[in-house]
Amino acid sequence: MKLFKKLAASASVLAMLASGASAEISDGVVKIGLLTDMSGTYSDVAGPGTITAAEMAIEEFGGTVAGAPIELVSADHQNKADISANKARQWGDTEKVDAFAELVTTSVAMAVFEVAKQQNKIALVSGAASSPLTNDACIPTGLHWTYNTRALGVGTGSAVVAEGGDSWFFLTADYAFGEALQGDVSKVVEAAGGKVLGSVKHPFPASDFSSFMLQAQASGAKVIGLANAGGDTINAIKAAKEFGIVEAGQKIAGLLVFLSDVHALGLDTAQGLQMTVSFYWDMNDETREWSKRFFEKTGKMPTGIQAGTYSAVRHYLKAIEATGSDDTDTVLAKMREMPVEDMFANGGVLRTDGRMVHDMYLAEVKSPADSSGPWDYLKIVRTIPGEEAFGPLSESTCPTK
């Protein structure tokens, strides 16, 4: 028995040596596991579109990298952290997945971080928003690609204060994310010389915002900041319009608004709304060309999360191509060394706390008259340099930075 084990062990060592000599791709395949919300709240901002985006990145490599085929597996995590952890663990343990991608919503990203840390695998986060992912909750192999709450707060907060919106009232979703967002933005507003007059915590999710809007109105603040997301933001903006709050002179600042939300609201309701985005399809020829191809496949223009997924997967594959290896530490080092250059990011830098620093954009929703048709929704007002949006590395509280 013992002898047999020894033999088997030496045989496998031999096998490893043999395969190592030809290529350093483990199991002869580069496998990416993409977890996203296929049917729930985030299926529009992320969802099936992120799979298309990842596939587009893989297509650019012709389906192989460093002589090994690239394989994409995907699963619907239904916004459940336990399903995500289970799937990621299984992928890593039994199906030879080398990296996890997308991971919309913070609970999912954090659950997969735990798995990625144990298995020492790269996690390419695109959809989750919370800044803690590259602060207290960071892991050495977790990369936060597209945006975070701080960047959104900085962009929208400072821009609105600069335009004279110096007193704020927050409508905050009553859970960790809402509070984090309100906290991030409050800091920015106060640093820019503005004042926060108060806030009301609304239950999550809430369908009727009229009451909270009236409280915001009664506060007399110049700006009503929406520290919520998704359906809550949409309903709050609708209530503001209905109760004539914007016409009465108060401004609404959506802190986490996506292109698909604007699409859902319609320009009539959303016009004038300021938002910070990581990406907009109509910025330059490159983004237009890519987005058009994306549109042909999905019937929708890409959101920042979808474009970010493309960028993250592409950069990961580039690093494998450059090193000829899919070893986590080797690839990670190369990803940090190379600037991120594609239609999503221009000279993006991957920091040791996991943050991918790239420019963000302050955008304003066009009025129906200015829009030339469907998906022509945003006007880019300002480019926010990456360092300003995400803050310096010294600010990060990530212990392993």
Partner 1 sequence: MNKFLGYLIVLAISLAAPLFIYPVFLMKLLCFALFASAFNLILGYGGLLSFGHAAFFGGAAYISGHALKVWGLPTELGILVGALSAGVLGLAIGTLAIRRQGIYFAMITLAMAQMAYFVFISSPFTGGENGLQGVPRGMALGMIDLTNDRSMYYFVLAICLAGFLLIARAVHSPFGQVLSAIRDNEDRARSLGYDIERYKLLAFVLSATLAGLAGATKTVVFQLASLTDAHWHMSGEVVLMTLLGGLGTIAGPAVGAGIIVTLQNYLASGPLAAWVPVVLGVIFVACVLSFRRGVVGELREFLRRSF
Partner 2 sequence: MLTDLLGFPPQVLFGQLLLGLINGAFYAVLSLGLAVIFGLLNIVNFAHGALYMLGAFATLGLTQYLGIGYWGALIFAPLIVGAIGVGLERVLLRRLSGIDHLYGLLLTFGLALVIEGTFVKLFGASGIPYPTPEALQGGVNLGFMFLPFYRGWVVVASLAVCVATWYLFERTKIGAYLRAGTENPRLLQAFGVNVPLLTTLAYGYGVALAAFAGVLAAPITQVNPLMGSNLIIVVFAVVVIGGMGSIMGAVVTGLSMGVIEGLTKVFWPEASSTVIFVVMAIVLVLRPAGLFGKPA
Whose Cβ is closer to partner 2: residue 84's or residue 269's?
269
User: Closest distance between partner 1 and the C-beta of residue 334, in Å?
Assistant: 29
* C-alpha–C-alpha distance, residues 377 and 275, integer Å: 12
Looking at 203, 266, 374, 399, which residue binds partner 1 (CB under 8 A)? 203
CA atoms within 13 A on the CB side of 197: 17
Strands laid side by side in the 340-341 sheet = 340-341, 346-350, 356-357
Task: Identify each DSSP E strand in 203-314 by its residue range.
Answer: 223-227, 251-254, 274-277
- For position 114 contacting partner 1 by CB under 8 A, the verdict is yes
User: Closest distance between partner 2 and the C-beta of residue 262, in Å?
Assistant: 10
> Which of these, 179, 176, 171, 178, lies nearest to 197 by C-alpha position?
171
Helix (H) or strand (E) holding 326: none
User: Which region holds residue 249: left if phi is over 0, alpha if psi is between -120 and 50, else beta?
Assistant: left
> Which of these, 162, 113, 163, 157, lies nearest to 133 by C-alpha position?
113
Q: Which is it for strands 356-357 and 346-350: parallel, antiparallel or unpaired?
A: antiparallel
What, of partner 1, partner 2, none, does residue 177 touch, CB below 5 to 8 Å by kind? partner 1
Tokens representing residue 159 in the block: 């821009």
Looking at 105, 167, 172, 291, which residue binds partner 1 (CB under 8 A)? 105
Residues making contact with partner 2 (CB under 8 A): 39-45, 174, 200-203, 205-208, 210-212, 214-215, 218, 230-231, 234-235, 238, 242-244, 248, 260-261, 264-266, 268-269
What, of partner 2, partner 1, none, does residue 82 touch, CB below 5 to 8 Å by kind? partner 1
Site map 15..54 versus partner 1, x via CB under 8 A: -----------------------xx---x----x------
What, of partner 1, partner 2, none, does residue 397 touch, CB below 5 to 8 Å by kind? none
Site map 136..175 versus partner 1, x via CB under 8 A: -x------------------------------------xx
Q: Are 172 and 182 in contact (CB under 8 A)?
A: yes
Return residues touching partner 1 (CB under 8 A).
38-39, 43, 48, 73-83, 85-87, 89-90, 93-94, 105-107, 110-111, 113-114, 130, 137, 174-177, 201, 203-204
